[in-house]
Amino acid sequence: MNTPEALEKLFRSGKLSRREFIARMSALGLAAAVSPALLGTPALAASPKRGGRLRLGLNGGATSDTLDPGIQLAMMPQTLVYGTLANSLTEIDADGQPQPELAESWESTPDAKKWVFKLRKGVEFHNGKTMDADDVIYSLNWHRKEGTKSAAKPLVEAIVEMKKEDPYTIAFELASGNADFPYTLSDYHLVVGPKDTNLAEGVFTGGYKVETFEPGVRAFCTRNPNYFKSDRAWFDEVEILGINDVNARTNALKTGQIDVMNRCDLKTVHLFKRMPGIQVMRQDGFKHFTFAMRTDTAPYDNNDVRLALKYAVDREQMVKTILRGYGRVGNDHPISVANRYHASDLPQRQYDPDKAKFHLKKAGLSEATFKFHAAEAAFKGAVDAGVLFKETAAKAGITIDVVREPNDGYWNNVWMKKPFCAVFWGGRSTEDMMFSTAYAKGVAWNDTFWDHPRFNELLVAARAELDEQKRRGMYVEMQQIVSDEGGVVVPMFSADLAAASDKLEHGKLAANWELDGFRAPERWWYKS
Amino acid sequence: MELLKFNGITALVLKRVGLGLVTLWVISLLIFVGVEALPGDLAEAVLGQSATPETVAAFRKELKLDMPPHVRYFAWLGAFVKGDFGNSLANQRPVVDLISWRFANSLFLAGVTAMIAVPVAVLLGILAALYRNTLFDRLISMATLSTISFPEFFVAYILIALLSVQVVIFPSISNINEQMSFWQKLYAICLPCLTLAMVVTAHMMRQTRAAIINILSSPFIEMANLKGLRKLRVVVLHAFPNALSPVINVIALNLAYLVVGVVIVEVVFVYPGLGQLLVDSVSKRDIPVVQASGLIFAGTYVMLNLLADVLSIVSNPRLRNPR
Amino acid sequence: MTATFKLLRSSPFSARLGMAMVLITLLAAIFAPVVAPYGETEVAGDVWLPASADHWVGTDNLGRDLFSRLVYGARNTIAIAFLITALSFIVGTMWGFLAATVGGWMDQLLSRIVDILMAFPTLIFALMVLSVVGTSIPALVVVIALLDSTRVYRLSRAVAMDIEVMEFVEAARLRGEGLWWLMRHEILPNAMPPLVAEFGLRFCFVFLFIAALSFLGLGIQPPTADWGSMVRENSGAITFGIFTPLWPAGAIAFLTVGVNLVVDWFLHIASGLED
């Protein structure tokens, strides 16, 4: 298999990452033979074809959806706005690396505090206006204007100053160094629309223009003939349908009424795989479930109690039962194998009733009962997960009471209120974003109320560190700290399962979001 | 009663229309109080897990959720009376835009279903009563019984499995949109229509049959039978008109159900009807949308009931000519 | 006693069949722990196994023994549905008859209240109440019974109105009989046939309604077995050619048909028709 032709084939079909490809070509002494054109378009395999209508049936649409990039709460608007209509300054490729999109290139000072972005020239909005630095600054400020509801506000607030140096150059000054700033700018909220317009109108730079949008029901888009990427957006039309019932999605795909569906039914996906004409796609992304303990509340303020509970979970069994095998065991920290600095050498925590007993005894709490709060709203199967937890913990002499909470209002009344509860996390594509969102001292979603001085110190240091090796070391240490001393049990990472007609083709899937980083409409095409 | 005697049915209808309006007003009040009483508000419900105190506060202020409830209710009522339904709290679209095409869709589905179901149900009911206890009656009974014995969504899934997956005849989702022609829409809603028709036909047919059989034991029918009139004539001309009152009531209930109660079918077939919008809006606490769609539903009910009452009176000779 | 016995002996085949069907279900429900080979929520094997000697009708979506679930399901389903229907009939017929017999302002008042309750879309009502008080079984019983009693009220009022204008009621009134007596002795017996038919239908309707609520995530909460939810949990399999959901659906149909066969027979006797 190690002939250049075979490697190229593997690479084009997405079975080999760009890095692996170059490494193995170099091993053959052939690095110089690699065509720059081939590497320039890493996600593309053999000659995509233009045309056709892509019909996506997606879970996660609501009648309250809007096109406002600041309020993108579920899969349907996210795929529509970020994946179909709009672009950010950068995008994340299939290997998890930031690539230029509306930006052409960037550079930073050594402390990662000041960044200069050069913009692509000749990019046109759907309304015909040409994009320049003013539009970018306006679009970023959209998220921190007076009375904003944008979830991206904290991201933009980290920018102290945005200066237009010339119409296609912007200088950013950050409050503190952030080596991941190009990642931040790939966020799906931070898309660019024309200056002084209402961004909720859906006018952006993307490969398609929105024709009709009925929130939660249907969006219909046609190809933007002036799209600045010639090698993307292959379809003539894109139709996104909100289908929240998983059986309805499955039937619609089976009967050919849609071409792509997200979130397959775990119960029937093994049957689905056997059907002719259907491809099932698995992405191991960042999505994970946690059992969050409030470290500021007794008895969870005692690390031995937390360790006892961590040892009392049978992670393999949970992945097998709750996820039906479509996922990976967690190691009590929120960093996924899809992240760049995942600590693969960290020993996997195993179910160990004896160690659990030992730590519980050390905490002097051998008779204690723990109330675990869960609801299906936390994540699908959360209550079942609680019941499994109860069973395995019982073998270690730990009594767990599973309290079933109402779905309605779970995030307001249970999460961050009850001392021990089930939580869903979509995860983040960078270690820094994940840790800063939920593990740093005092941040809004620090649901374990955790405060670890060494961890907090490392977080700031790693953020500004541009040296890869040093940075990796810091993030590995942080994962270890969370795993051993943090307030979360992370039993499992859930894979994303999507299915599509096998007439569709795509390169290696990006793992940052579902459906190729929400970008299926832009990146996929029909086979000829 | 005096009013009724002198001005007849017109006065009665007017009186009932007035009462209907009062009913609607009480309902609007109840819905408002009900949604207010739910824990949490729109800001929290829409944002879900991504709610931070800051965004929630911004949301609240923008939506005037920080004002006292009675102020908001009367502001809404004032606008409503002037014909302004307001904007959806969740996405600022005018409620009229959100609701009108969905309501039209709901009526379309209900209308097509009723056009099939009502004549079939009445006809089958009469025939079953006429040929009661024959093989025909039993077969019809069994068939209708089994269709109402399965949960609606299960009937739907079976129909999809048979007519959409096994044999590809009808589409499995009915997501109609404005770009479709009337016939395309009609084709798209075949399966939901069939599902609903099966459910309501069974119920209406059984009531029709029961009502007619009940009347058949009355002395005047015995008399008609004794006079040697033909059985069909007796049932159609003598028994059926007297059984109309309960039949009309049951039809009215089922029609209202077709407009109001088909959320499940909407979910299974991804049909953009009003029911789905209502359920969504309740869980999002989007009061203007809940109010408007709740009132449309309630109005449909009130109107159909009024119609049923009037028709019952018109059809019952005894009630029509009070002593 | 002998009259009942005689009546039973004279019953047609269909009625006996219906009674047998209801009886079988009742026995299964009462003796559930004895009949069921596995526990109600016990995971006993792989997911969606076909029927075998170990699992008579296979296993469900979580690998629980389906036959055991059916038997326990009978218990929960029948008890809850019967309770709800009985409650709604007691409430509904009483007010309905009262409205028809007293008439005037009483009729107006009751009918308006019922109009309001009925005009309230059933599902929002259920959604609002259940999300405030939580989806517990008592809450389900009260909410559904209240919603259902409005329908019973309308029917019983309409039927009683027709009876109320009959000569024999007038005669009783002139005799000076009391309100309660009129309702009990004149109206109730004559209103019986449509009401009994409605009871049979309503009873079946109730557990279908619970199933519908389960579909929206508000019905009887797992892991409690009830037939409607069992259909729901397994229904995804049907388009893949797995027949598991047919069993609980079949159980619902079995009981519904049984109840209705008995109801039909009753309707027949009560109407006094000779054939």
pTM: 0.81
Q: Is the pLDDT of residue B107 over 80?
A: yes
Query: Chain C interface, mutation test: which of A245, A253, A266, A271, most C Cβ atoms within 10 Å?
Result: A271
Could you tell me the sign of the dihedral formed by the alpha carbons of A166, A167, A169, A175, in that order?
Answer: positive
Nearest CA in chain A to C237: A268
Distance from the Cα of C31 to chain B's closest Cα (Å) equals 24
Angle in degrees, CA B107, B110, B111, rounded to 5:
80
Nearest to B210 among C194, C205, C256 (CB): C194
Q: Are B271 and B105 in contact (CB under 8 A)?
A: yes
When comparing pLDDT for B264 and A412, which is higher?
B264
pLDDT band at B74 (very low <50, low <70, confident <90, very high): confident
Q: Tell me which residue of B73, B86, B47 sits closest to B292, measured CA to CA.
A: B86
3-state SS track over chain B: CHHHHHHHHHHHHHHHHHHHHHHHHHHHHHHHHHHHHCCCCHHHHHHHHHCCHHHHHHHHHHCCCCCCHHHHHHHHHHHHHCCCCCECCCCCCEHHHHHHHHHHHHHHHHHHHHHHHHHHHHHHHHHHHHCCCCHHHHHHHHHHHHHHHCCHHHHHHHHHHHHHHHCCCCCCCCCCCCCCCHHHHHHHCHHHHHHHHHHHHHHHHHHHHHHHHHHHCCHHHHHHHHCCCCHHHHHHHHHHHHHHHHHHHHHHHHHHHHHHCCHHHHHHHCCCCHHHHHHHHHHHCCHHHHHHHHHHHHHHHHHHHHHHHHHHHHHCHHHHCCC
Q: Is the pLDDT of residue B54 over 70?
A: no
CB contact under 8 A, A267 and C134: no
CB contact under 8 A, A250 and C239: yes
Q: Is the pLDDT of residue A274 over 80?
A: yes
Q: Is the pLDDT of residue B195 over 70?
A: yes
Q: Give chain B's domains with CATH numbers.
A: 12-84 (no CATH), 103-320 (1.10.3720.10)
CA C228 remoteness from chain centre: 13
How far is Cα B141 from Cα C86, in angstroms, rounded to an integer? 24
How far is Cα A513 from Cα B222, in angstroms, rounded to an integer? 76
Query: Given this model, what pLDDT does residue C274 score?
Result: 45
Please name the amino acid found at residue B105.
N
Query: What are the residue ranges in chain C where pLDDT is below 50?
Result: 274-275
Q: Spell out which residues of chain A touch residue C135, defining contact as CB-CB under 8 Å.
A: 406
| For residues A132-137, average pLDDT | 95
| For residues A353-380, average pLDDT | 87
Identify any residues that bridge with A209 across adjacent strands, giving them in sequence order.
Answer: A222
Q: Which of A411-415, A511-515, C130-134 has the highest mean pLDDT?
A: A511-515
Query: Given this model, what pLDDT does residue A26 score?
Result: 47
How far is Cα A128 from Cα A138, in angstroms, rounded to an integer? 17
Interface of B with C in 202-221 (CB under 8 A): 203, 206-207, 210-211, 213-214, 216-217
How far is Cα C141 from Cα A30, in angstroms, rounded to an integer? 75
Nearest to B281 among A63, A217, A255 (CB): A63
Cβ contacts of C223 within 8 Å, gap of 6 or more: C40, C41
Cβ-Cβ contacts under 8 Å between B and C: the total is 172
CB contact under 8 A, A63 and B98: yes
Could you tell me the sign of the dihedral formed by the alpha carbons of A503, A507, A508, A510, in that order?
Answer: negative
CB contact under 8 A, A147 and B171: no
- List the strands of the sheet with A114-119, edge to edge: A103-108, A114-119, A169-174, A159-166
Q: Max alpha carbon distance in chain C (Å)?
A: 72
| For residues B17-42, average pLDDT | 79
Token pair of B301 as six digits:
């009910």
Give residue limits of the domains in chain C: 13-35+55-271
Provide, rounded to the nearest whole percent, the portion of chain A with pLDDT above 70.
Answer: 91
Distance from the Cα of C68 to chain B's closest Cα (Å) equals 20
Backbone angles phi, psi at A103, to 5 degrees: -90, 155
Provide, rounded to the nearest whole percent, the portion of chain B with pLDDT above 70.
Answer: 87
Q: Are C201 and C257 in contact (CB under 8 A)?
A: no
Q: Are A279 and A499 in contact (CB under 8 A)?
A: yes
Interface of A with B in 213-272 (CB under 8 A): 214-218, 220, 241-245, 247-248, 251-252, 254-255, 257-258
Nearest to A64 among B39, B172, B286 (CB): B286
| For residues B283-307, average pLDDT | 83
Distance from the Cα of A436 to chain B's closest Cα (Å) equals 15
How far is Cα B248 from Cα B204, in angstroms, rounded to an integer? 9
Query: Given this model, what pLDDT does residue C3 score?
Result: 67
Query: Given this model, what pLDDT does residue C189 score?
Result: 82
CA C69 remoteness from chain centre: 20
Could you tell me the sign of the dihedral formed by the alpha carbons of C145, C150, C155, C161, in that order?
Answer: positive
Interface of A with C in 445-504 (CB under 8 A): none
Helix, coil or strand: residue A265: coil
Instruction: Look at A30-34, A370-374, C136-140, C202-206 and tell me which has the smallest mean pLDDT.
Output: A30-34
Query: Given this model, what pLDDT does residue A15 score?
Result: 54
Q: Are B313 and B9 in contact (CB under 8 A)?
A: yes
Q: Tell me which residue of B292, B290, B264, B259 sits closest to B100, measured CA to CA.
A: B292
Backbone angles phi, psi at B209, to 5 degrees: -60, -50
How far is Cα A514 from Cα A59, in angstroms, rounded to an integer? 11
How far is Cα A142 from Cα A138, in angstroms, rounded to an integer? 6
Instruction: Name chain B's partners: 3 or more CB pairs within 8 A.
Output: A, C
Q: Cβ of A364 under 8 Å from any chain B Cβ?
A: no
Instruction: Look at A38-52, A86-100, A154-168, C244-258 and tell me which has the smallest mean pLDDT.
Output: A38-52
Buried b (16+ CB within 10 A) or exposed e, A68-77: bbbbbbbbbb
CB contact under 8 A, B179 and A220: yes
Provide, rounded to the nearest whole percent, the portion of chain A with pLDDT above 90.
Answer: 58
The CA–CA distances, whole Å, from A332 to A234, A286, A384, A489, B172 equal 41, 14, 19, 5, 43
Q: Tell me which residue of A135, A80, A126, A69 sits closest to A103, measured CA to CA.
A: A135
Q: Tell me which residue of B74, B75, B42 sits closest to B58, measured CA to CA.
A: B42
Backbone angles phi, psi at C125, to 5 degrees: -55, -55
Q: Is the pLDDT of residue A422 over 90?
A: yes
Nearest to B23 among C119, C165, C216 (CB): C119
Identify any residues that bridge with A327 across adjacent strands, giving them in sequence order.
Answer: A494
Strands A399-404 and A260-261: unpaired
Q: Spell out which residues of chain A touch residue C221, defining contact as CB-CB under 8 Å.
A: 404
CATH 3.90.76.10 fits domain A87-198: yes
Q: Are B280 and C127 in contact (CB under 8 A)?
A: no
Residues A253-270: pLDDT tens digits?
988 999 999 989 888 888
**Tokens 């049907």, residue?**
C238
Instruction: Name chain C's partners: 3 or more CB pairs within 8 A.
Output: A, B
CA A53 remoteness from chain centre: 27
Query: Given this model, what pLDDT does residue B6 score?
Result: 45
Query: Given this model, what pLDDT does residue B20 score?
Result: 81
Topology (CATH) of A46-86+206-284+496-528: D-Maltodextrin-Binding Protein; domain 2 (3.40.190)
Q: Tell me which residue of B148, B116, B152, B115 sits closest to B275, measured CA to CA.
A: B152
Nearest to B151 among C123, C154, C228 (CB): C228
CB contact under 8 A, C236 and A408: no
When comparing pLDDT for A89 and A43, which is higher?
A89
Residues B220-241: pLDDT tens digits?
777 777 777 777 777 777 777 7
The CA–CA distances, whole Å, from B247 to B118, B241, C35, C231, C265 equal 10, 10, 43, 32, 21
Backbone angles phi, psi at A109, to 5 degrees: -75, 160
Interface of A with B in 140-169 (CB under 8 A): 147-151, 153
Q: Are B264 and C217 in contact (CB under 8 A)?
A: no
How far is Cα A451 from Cα A441, in angstroms, rounded to an integer? 5
CB contact under 8 A, A251 and B173: yes
Q: Tell me which residue of B300, B287, B273 sits closest to B86, measured CA to CA.
A: B287
How far is Cα A183 from Cα A186, in angstroms, rounded to an integer? 5
Token pair of A110 as six digits:
């050594």
CATH classification (class only), C13-35+55-271? mainly alpha
Q: Cβ of B284 under 8 Å from any chain C Cβ?
A: no
CB-count burial class (<10 Å; 0-12, 13-18, 19+) for B293: buried
How far is Cα A283 from Cα B99, in angstroms, rounded to an integer? 38
Examine the predicted complex and report whether its ipTM is higher than 0.95. no
CB contact under 8 A, C239 and A407: no
pLDDT band at A34 (very low <50, low <70, confident <90, very high): very low
Give residue limits of the domains in chain A: 1-41, 46-86+206-284+496-528, 87-198, 288-494
Nearest CA in chain B to C270: B214
Determine if the peptide bond prior to C223 is cis (ω within 30°).
yes
When comparing pLDDT for A256 and B2, which is higher?
A256
Query: Given this model, what pLDDT does residue B1 score?
Result: 42
| For residues B33-48, average pLDDT | 69
Interface of C with A in 160-199 (CB under 8 A): none
pLDDT band at A1 (very low <50, low <70, confident <90, very high): very low
Residue C207 CB neighbours (<10 A): 29
Token pair of A266 as six digits:
């775990």
Query: Given this model, what pLDDT does residue B43 score?
Result: 66
| For residues B56-79, average pLDDT | 75
Q: Which of A3-7, B250-254, C87-91, C165-169 has the highest mean pLDDT?
A: C87-91
Query: Given this model, what pLDDT does residue C218 score?
Result: 74
| For residues A185-205, average pLDDT | 93
Alpha helix ranges (H) inside C63-186: 66-102, 104-119, 122-133, 137-164, 167-175, 179-181
Q: Tell me which residue of A333, A310, A523 sits closest to A396, measured CA to CA.
A: A310
How far is Cα A171 from Cα A133, in angstroms, rounded to an integer? 10
Topology (CATH) of A288-494: Dipeptide-binding Protein; domain 3 (3.10.105)
